[in-house]
């Protein structure tokens, strides 16, 4: 049974320090997983807990330190389109440019590339569905995914948040093959 306990909840993250087994421990509950680390005395445990809370709050508010160096999605995509225009067909560049400027930039254009996550991509899908753009949603996500793939290759993102989201785009919009019977 703990002698002392300090708790904090930030965006489904719990940071707790407790005196347990004759030492102070820090416990972090994040996404259903619990991690424990022995931190020594109470002052150190309090400092560690405060630092973790600040880090989780920064992540929840998308205020990372790297965001100052990262370009916005609009700037990155426009720069990429200029370089891609040299190797892609003009119709492909027009396809990407049209979808990005019409649908993606109004919603995500001012966001820093490193702050875009899967929830933002889902929100884009929901917005496209709300405007009854069922068939176009796939093309919009393909355009966004292509830009984010280049951001992954450029080292700005660890993984592409729009990758393999085609299954949630618009159910029933895939063309059915006609049977030869």
pLDDT tens digits, one per residue of 117-139: 888 888 888 888 888 777 788 88
Would you say the pTM of this structure is higher than 0.75?
no
Measured CA to CA, the distance from residue 176 to residue 76 in angstroms comes to 37
- Residue holding tokens 């492909």? 92
In eight-state DSSP terms, residue 41 is: S
**Who's near 104: CB < 8 A, 6+ residues apart?**
73, 77, 124, 140, 143, 144
Where along the chain do its domains lie? 5-61, 68-168
Query: What DSSP string describes 120-157?
Result: HHHHHHHHHHHTT-HHHHHHHHHHHHHHHHHHHHTTS-
- In tens, the pLDDT along 139-163 reads 888 899 999 999 989 888 888 888 8
Topology given in CATH for the domain delimited by 68-168: DNA polymerase; domain 1 (1.10.150)
Reported confidence tier of residue 22, pLDDT bands at 50, 70, 90: confident
């Amino acid at each position: 049974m703990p002698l002392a306990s300090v708790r904090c909840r930030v965006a489904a993250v719990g940071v707790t320090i407790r005196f347990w087994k004759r030492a102070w421990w820090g416990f972090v509950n994040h996404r259903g997983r619990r991690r424990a680390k022995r931190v020594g005395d109470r002052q150190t445990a309090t400092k560690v807990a405060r630092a973790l809370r600040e880090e989780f709050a920064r992540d929840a508010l998308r205020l990372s330190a790297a965001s100052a160096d990262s370009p916005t999605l609009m700037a990155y995509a426009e720069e990429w389109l200029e370089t891609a225009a040299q190797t892609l067909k003009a119709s492909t560049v027009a396809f990407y440019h049209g979808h990005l400027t019409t649908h993606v930039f109004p919603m995500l254009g001012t966001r820093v590339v490193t702050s875009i996550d899967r929830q933002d991509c889902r929100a884009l899908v929901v917005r496209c569905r709300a405007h009854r753009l069922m068939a176009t949603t796939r093309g919009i996500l393909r355009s966004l995914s292509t830009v984010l793939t280049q951001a992954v290759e450029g080292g700005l993102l660890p993984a592409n948040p729009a990758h393999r989201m085609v299954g949630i785009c618009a159910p029933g919009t895939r063309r059915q093959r006609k049977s030869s019977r």
